Chain A
Amino acid sequence: MKIPISYIWRSLWTRRLTTVLTLVGIALVVFVFAAILMMAHGIETTMRDTGYEDNVILIRRSASSELLSQVGREGASIVKTFPEVSTDPNGKAIATTEVLVVITLFKKESNNLGNVSVRGISPEAFALRPAVKLAGGRMFQFGSHEVIVGSSIIQRFKGCEIGKQISFSGDQWTIVGVIEAEGSAFESEIWGDVEQLMPSVGRPVFSTMTFRLKDKNMFDALKQRVQQDPRTQYMEPKRERDFYEEQSHAMSTFIMILGTVVTVIFSIGAIIGAVITMYGAVSNRTVEIGTLRSLGFRRRSVLAAFLIESIILSVVGGALGILMASVMSFVRISTVNFGTFSELAFGFTLSPGIALSTIIFSVAMGVIGGFLPAVRAARMNIVTALRSS
């Protein structure tokens, strides 16, 4: 490309109004595209970070979620004795047997009922999930009708402040503390004593059991042992991180598909805008094109100049779109977790991969939008172009 970049840049500046309008069009489409990717990524990150690499969750075979899973006391006790399960200095397995149920509470914003996950835990739950920390109040006492609530719950649902009582399954539960969990899904849950919850909600069996492996490489051996033992083979161990990531797939895929359809429709509009802008630029500069060609600049230089002009528009528009989307990082919203049908709060997460995909997307818009006008400019007959003066 021999044509100076200053020519391209200043040509864009000269027709500032159309340049800015095209930029805004591209930026808005890129914003939507990036925001959708950030939303899907935010859900995946929230769910994935809920699990730990060396933790294993035991669910009933073929159960697609914790809600549908059932783990019997006997089976849980047997697995606790397996050599792959990590133990404390006293020889007790570091494992939490849990039950997960869904209750309804009134939302602060809309006053409508929303689903909330209530998790009954064993004392070892905190050792297994070090990211979960008490952010206010105190820990509930095992053996009592006390619960602690996730920080997202206290923000979004009525009557969930410390000291308040919530009622479900005919029992009253006193809120005594608030937990934070580095943005993971646990912040959208209520936790209480599993042995108190089970009779209250009428569940004779646990939903799941989570435990730590002695060594994370022991997973395959553990899986084999669970599958071979007739007393435990109705259950299936999964790495906790993989399990929660799987749980987010349905929702993130749904958002991605819906978002992609919306973005494609928007991007067609933006591409048409870019095509019109670039055709206008070619028409207005017919004489300049003829002059450049007569001076000895080749067709491909003219093609490159106009294509680069379009790409500059798309890159600047793309950067603007990413900048707008990055503001969304400060926003936290909630949606229904398809795995538990309860509210899940998550943030929009911008990753380098999303930024790169977004820039590639916007450059693609620039190339598609600028190609035909650039070809027209390059194919222009010199004499005809000069005559248009």
Chain B
Amino acid sequence: MSLVAIKNISKSYWRDSLEIPVLRNISFDIPEGEFLALMGPSGSGKTTLLNLIAGIDRPTTGSIVIGGTDIGGLGETALAQWRSRIMGFIFQFYNLLPVLTAFENVELPLLLTKLSSKERRDHVEFALKIVGLEERMRHYPKQLSGGQEQRVAIARAIVTDPTILVADEPTGDLDKVSAEEIMKLLDRLNSEFKKTIIMVTHDPRAAERAHLVRHLDKGELS
């Protein structure tokens, strides 16, 4: 069954009066539980497509329906709430808040829920346990290695139990060993926890973990 339905979307940016098309008339579906890798050269529009699916950017034309919700029809506040429930974000440079501990970083998305402090603590500890960092919850990001930081970021992405994880070059800033660990973890989240994963990557080894690979070139699916 299709979880994400992308229909005829295009995206252009404007520089003064000059239109710069980034995505052109893209349509495809992503089934629930899929592990999709989006590949393509720099500037092909991979991250832009990921941002549109994640609901942090809007297409110029076309529609994106996720879990039955046309996200183009959501206002800004509703879209923010929708993101906090449905999407888990994994960034290339982890994007942890440096002044917060691993525990506090993971807890952040839960502050948008109505969970009690005790329930939040349980959720955070569970998420950190899944990524194998329950012993490091009091550490600040600068006290962790790159691989550990990305695992904390993954814990933050899964702590609200979202339907979809969007990962933008999750291994792009890591050494080979750490990258392999992260990919194993994403693989586990997909197979064991049934998370739908949409990942942008340049790394063919990372793409090998995906069940489906789509290539973008000059804003078009190839």
Residues of A within 8 A of B (CB): 2-4, 6-7, 10-11, 13-14, 287-288, 290-299, 382-383, 386, 389
Q: Are A386 and B91 in contact (CB under 8 A)?
A: yes
Q: Are B54 and A294 in contact (CB under 8 A)?
A: yes
Distance of A7 Cα from B100 Cα, bound (Å): 6
A residues in contact with B91, CB < 8 Å: 291, 386, 389
Q: Are A291 and B98 in contact (CB under 8 A)?
A: no
Q: Are B100 and A295 in contact (CB under 8 A)?
A: no
A residues in contact with B92, CB < 8 Å: 389
B residues in contact with A293, CB < 8 Å: 56, 80
CB contact list, B115-146 vs A, under 8 A: none
Q: Does B20 contact A (CB under 8 A)?
A: no
Q: Does B83 contact A (CB under 8 A)?
A: yes
CB distance from B141 to the nearest CB of A (A): 11
Interface of B is mostly: helix
With A288-B95, A295-B83 known, 20 other A-B pairs at CB within 8 A are A3-B111, A4-B100, A6-B99, A6-B100, A7-B99, A7-B100, A10-B99, A287-B93, A287-B95, A288-B97, A291-B91, A292-B97, A292-B108, A294-B54, A294-B83, A296-B109, A382-B57, A386-B95, A389-B92, A389-B95
Contact of B77 among A10, A14, A291, A298 (CB under 8 A): A298
* Nearest CB in chain A to that of B54: its residue: A294
Distance of A293 Cα from B83 Cα, bound (Å): 10
CB contact list, B71-109 vs A, under 8 A: 76-77, 80-81, 83-85, 89, 91-93, 95, 97-100, 104, 108-109
Q: Does B51 contact A (CB under 8 A)?
A: yes
Interface size on B, residues (CB 8 A): 26
Q: Are A4 and B104 in contact (CB under 8 A)?
A: yes
Residues of B within 8 A of A (CB): 51, 54, 56-57, 76-77, 80-81, 83-85, 89, 91-93, 95, 97-100, 104, 108-109, 111-112, 156
Distance of A3 Cα from B93 Cα, bound (Å): 21
* Nearest CB in chain B to that of A299: its residue: B76
* Nearest CB in chain B to that of A298: its residue: B80
Distance of A182 Cα from B97 Cα, bound (Å): 58
Assess A297 versus B56: contact at CB under 8 Å? Given A7-B100, A383-B51, A389-B93.
Answer: no
